[in-house]
Structure 1
Amino acid sequence: MFTESSAFGSVAYGNRTLPVEPGKALELGLFPPIPVLSGHTKDEARAIASVAELLGDPVTSDNYGTRLTEAFGSRAAAVQAAYPVSAHQGERAAALAWSAMDTDRVWACTQQATTAAFARHTTTYSYEFADPAAPGYLPFPDGFPTGSSHGSELNYLFDAASGVPYQYQLTPAQQRLAKQLRHYWTNFARSGDPNGPGVPGWPLWPRTQILAPGASGPVDDRDNHHCDLW
């Protein structure tokens, strides 16, 4: 699971459709300068750690250090200091520590770099979906803390329950957040600006709009994900 997933990000370019590597194209502004809504989930990689457990390859306190050494070699100690198992509680503390690291390394920090590249050339809004107990879009083992994992915001924007083999029910607070998200997304689709009546104000990047039940609002999120390490 962990070794094979790296191929997911491979991109074919150097052709008529993608003549330039996409990251370089963003840096150079080689894209239509339309408004951009760019963001990620706060606990993206919990979905990966949960699937690894379902496949019989869980991250545990016994193998956490070994996994870091295999992944980062001489940098493993620095990574472990930034993402200690002791920062989390429960029997899946190591899996949550790994998930926090992998979320930052693969998604949060790269998303921030992508957002910054967009913002140099066009109007750009940034978000972090951060419901601490969002229903998972993918199956989770019993008792695994879902956080705001991969695709979990889709359950708030769409009737995603009809497309998955399990049911979920949003709490009243989550339903209010879902309504807020739908307002933001439809405002943006209509005008290129997520702001509008009845929702908290959403400033431009470098402020990031945190989207969480009863706690939506802008922060400077650039120092919250150990991006200097990555």
Structure 2
Amino acid sequence: MGLSPLGKIVIGLCAVLGLSGAAPAPREAPTATVGEGRVAGTWQDNVRIFRGLPYAAPPVGERRWQPPEAPPSWSGLRQAAEFGPDCVQPTYPADSVYFEAPRPQSEDCLTLNIWAPAGAKKAPVIVWIHGGSLQFGGSASPMYDGREFARRGIVFVSINYRLGVFGWFAHPGLSAESPQNVSGNYGLLDQVAALRWVQRNIAAFGGDPANVTAMGESAGALSVSYLLASPKARGLFAKAIVQSTNMRAMPRLREAAFGLPSAEASGQALGEALGAADVAALRAVDPDALLAAAVRARFPAQPVVDGVVVPDQLVNILDRGAQMKVPLLAGFNSGEVRSQRRLVPAMPGDPADYAAAAAERYGDLAAAYLKLYPASGGTESMLAATRDTIYGWATERLVRAQTAAGAPAYLYVFDHCYPAARARDLCAFHASELPFVFGIAGRPVAGSRNWPAAEGPAEVRLAEQMIDYWTSFAATGKPAAPSAADWRAYGRGEYVMRFADRPRSERNPFPGSFEFHEDRMQRQRADGLQWFIP
């Protein structure tokens, strides 16, 4: 018996709406062709995801402590469904707010991941550089899920780079191997190599290589700051997002300066502690033993002023206006050091002791310090002073430098608190903006068991607004969000966006703070001293 006209209409509608009784055909894996070969990823909703793509050759054996080299090619279809291992690193203390469930680690870790909208063509690109003191972390962290960016039209890339002693180790023997007679900065060179890979290959995923934003938080923000200043990164990105950077003095390659030993001297000392007579012996050390020795020696993972990759101290480069003149979005959190109490000096016992400590530390600047951070503020004054010494001054200095250079620059202060953070005295702590920037506030973050969950409707709403600002900046160079405050460039008015219960446009968030810390930095620098001291 044939179907009635109505029956045919119903079946047709069911087919259109996907309501037929038959199971839907499985969706074919998305594929792309890069310079090294073809890759197959996975789908999540309407987002194509490719994980664990090598952007450089494995830095193992003779390649340990060498600049990154091109990755090997492959034949056939490479599966890109799983993240690559994290770079070798120590484990966060189990009670740290930043602790995550352990993931596989390897020296063979120079991989990246891509989240791309279906059908993207010449889409804006963000390259994410993770934080972790240049010693911890990895692109596989659930916190760095790029889906929400991709759903807003961004091709989102996250990268691994060498950490700790594997990424920032300088040594006379390594410098002698180098055609430019330098060593160290391998982690920064990894980031440059990843950005170069993006330039060559991102069009295969629908991204626009002419519209790349380098974005990072904490050590990732420090990295982006140095990429802005490095000749090696020129032309590799068109915009920058810097979340909670610092601007301390870095060691020189061969000379002691600013109270720091030379980077080569630090490397030699670690080699002697390991009983390694030369670079060959150091390369033969098992990675776990090398990591353990570096942790025992408190090896400082940081950029090295070598005159080639890092030409000079960042403050000097900014003073000369020699950094890349690209649009910048940068900010810091009002409670940065609530999760970094080891950085905060001990609170003096009473107001007289507080004033005496200020006089000892700041000399004739003590009166200005006490006006900004009075004894009556107690611990809150100490927290604010430490925040501004490390993060606030550095961020505003970077924004001022871009503004002076004629590039649009936007400043924010993340000042949002919510019940779980308030209960632990962690309001607006270091990195607490991440679930908001990534648009994942309102749901638990897998693997981050100690993170105060941001779960309320106010948090979901703020997250939607913040990721809208970030994505519009990546697309156009100007942050904007529908039905939210207009974000004005810093400019002469010193405008700032404060993210509290909602985005609010303000001016000069902490009057006098920048000027105080700039004055102190200039004095410390003139005296040849480190200025990164709370």
Which position in structure 2 is the counterpart of 1:127? 412
| Closer/same/farther in 2, CA of residues 41 and 73 from structure 1, 3 Å limit | same
Shift in Å at residue 111 of structure 1? 1.6
Which position in structure 2 is the counterpart of 1:154? 434
2:372 to 70, 82, 87: 82
Unaligned runs of 5+ in 2: 1-132, 134-245, 251-302, 518-534
Q: Does the CA contact (< 8 Å) of 1:134 and 1:146 recur in 2?
A: no
In the alignment, the residues of structure 2 paired with residue 7 and residue 193 of structure 1 have an alpha-carbon distance, to the nearest angstrom, of 25
TM-score by length of 2: 0.35
In the alignment, the residues of structure 1 paired with residue 247 and residue 327 of structure 2 have an alpha-carbon distance, to the nearest angstrom, of 30
Q: Per-residue CA shift, 1:172-230, capped at 9, x if unaligned?
A: 1122111111101111112211124333211111311111113x122112553533332
Which position in structure 1 is the counterpart of 2:325? 33
Shift in Å at residue 133 of structure 1? 4.0
Identity level (%) = 22
| Closer/same/farther in 2, CA of residues 32 and 164 from structure 1, 3 Å limit | same
The structure richer in helix per residue is: 1
Runs of 4+ deviating beyond 6 Å: 5-8
1:100 aligns with 2:381: no
Letter in 1 for 2:501: P
In the alignment, the residues of structure 2 paired with residue 218 and residue 134 of structure 1 have an alpha-carbon distance, to the nearest angstrom, of 24
In the alignment, the residues of structure 2 paired with residue 58 and residue 26 of structure 1 have an alpha-carbon distance, to the nearest angstrom, of 29
1:212 aligns with 2:500: yes
Letter in 2 for 1:208: V
| Closer/same/farther in 2, CA of residues 41 and 47 from structure 1, 3 Å limit | same
In the alignment, the residues of structure 2 paired with residue 7 and residue 195 of structure 1 have an alpha-carbon distance, to the nearest angstrom, of 28
Letter in 2 for 1:211: F
Which position in structure 2 is the counterpart of 1:221? 508
Flag the structure with more relative contact order, 1 or 2, with Cα contacts below 8 A and sequence separation at least 6. Answer: 1
Which position in structure 2 is the counterpart of 1:46? 338
Moved more, 71-80 or 25-34: 71-80
Q: Per-residue CA shift, 1:47-100, capped at 9, x if unaligned?
A: 222x57xxxx9844627727646644565565344323433xxxxxx3322101
Letter in 1 for 2:426: T
TM-score by length of 1: 0.74
Q: Per-residue CA shift, 1:151-190, capped at 9, x if unaligned?
A: 1111212348324232513321122111111101111112
Q: Does the CA contact (< 8 Å) of 1:133 and 1:145 recur in 2?
A: no
User: How many residues are paired up?
Assistant: 209
Shift in Å at residue 7 of structure 1? 11
Which position in structure 2 is the counterpart of 1:178? 463
| Closer/same/farther in 2, CA of residues 58 and 30 from structure 1, 3 Å limit | closer
Which position in structure 2 is the counterpart of 1:193? 478
| Closer/same/farther in 2, CA of residues 9 and 170 from structure 1, 3 Å limit | farther
Letter in 2 for 1:153: E
Shift in Å at residue 25 of structure 1? 2.1
Unaligned runs of 5+ in 1: 88-93, 137-141
Shift in Å at residue 8 of structure 1? 7.0
